[in-house]
Amino acid sequence: MGLPGKEIYRGYDQYGVVSVVEDGPKRYLAFGDQDEQSCWLKHEPLSPQHEYVRAMLLVLLFKEPKQTISFGLGAGSLNSCLHGYFPSLKQQVVELRPEVVNVAYKYFQLPRGKRMVVHTMDANTYLQTEIGKKADILFSDIYSADGLDAVQLAPDFILRCADRLKTDGWLVLNCWREHQSTDLLETLCELFDDVRSCATQSGNWILFAGKKASHKNASQLKKDVRELSQRLGFSLNSHFARLQQHSD
């Protein structure tokens, strides 16, 4: 069974299909005929519809960013949200597929302007060749039609990500529950002082790793999550309730 609605665009590149499907007020980005990569609501263009994207935004409890790096664009729901609600934020976005970038601009209102620079290249190539300001937060969400790119789990990749963060920066990884392993957690705990995770009902496993430990207590975090939810226009309470700490 394919996605609901009508396909309004289909493009191809060396990596396969990029499809846009419209179903009433919703638009979907897909890399095949079955699973959606992104969901976008026309009348709420800044509001991420996927649970895992909202969960990734829990990192904002620990750091309000001025500079971010994102690996993997999709329809740009994370980046559009950050662009809309953090007007002083500057984003570097890295997406392997030019076709995905074109579709995000044309069909999903990805913002244009100096505050968001999109690089069309491999994430590892970016880490090894592009020189720029270090980030407050680095989001890594590298997926293809076949699922999570294994590079995102590699210790050398995580080390390079850590090197691109400020001394109090945070790394956010979108993985699947099947990737819950002591090896990955050990790698993160060796490089970061504060490691937390959130398992979503949709099957994603979001990892948060801070180079400096947050000393906010439970009461302060509950207050902050209420304020952040009000700012973004949707509740983060259910994701916050599943947040676990792994570091000492």
pLDDT of 1 over the 50 cut: no
pLDDT of 80 over the 50 cut: yes
Whole-number average pLDDT of the chain: 94
Return the higher-pLDDT residue of 31 and 92: 92
* Range of weakest confidence among 114-128, 133-147, 155-169, 197-211: 133-147
Q: Are 201 and 53 in contact (CB under 8 A)?
A: no
Q: Are 89 and 68 in contact (CB under 8 A)?
A: yes
pTM of the model: 0.95
pLDDT of 200 over the 70 cut: yes
Helix (H) or strand (E) run with residue 227 in it: helix 218-232
Q: How far is CA 110 from CA 46, 88, 135, 146, 172, in A?
A: 10, 17, 21, 24, 21
Q: How far apart are CA 246 and CA 208, in angstroms?
A: 10
Per-residue pLDDT band for 180 (boundaries 50, 70, 90) equals: confident
DSSP state for residue 115 in the 8-state scheme? T
| pLDDT > 70 fraction of the chain, expressed in percent and rounded | 98
Nearest in space to 224 (alpha carbons), one of 84, 56, 59, 78: 59
pLDDT of 167 over the 90 cut: yes
Q: Where are the alpha helices (DSSP H) in 47-170?
A: 51-56, 77-85, 98-107, 123-129, 155-163
Phi (first) and psi of residue 99, to 5 degrees: -65, -35
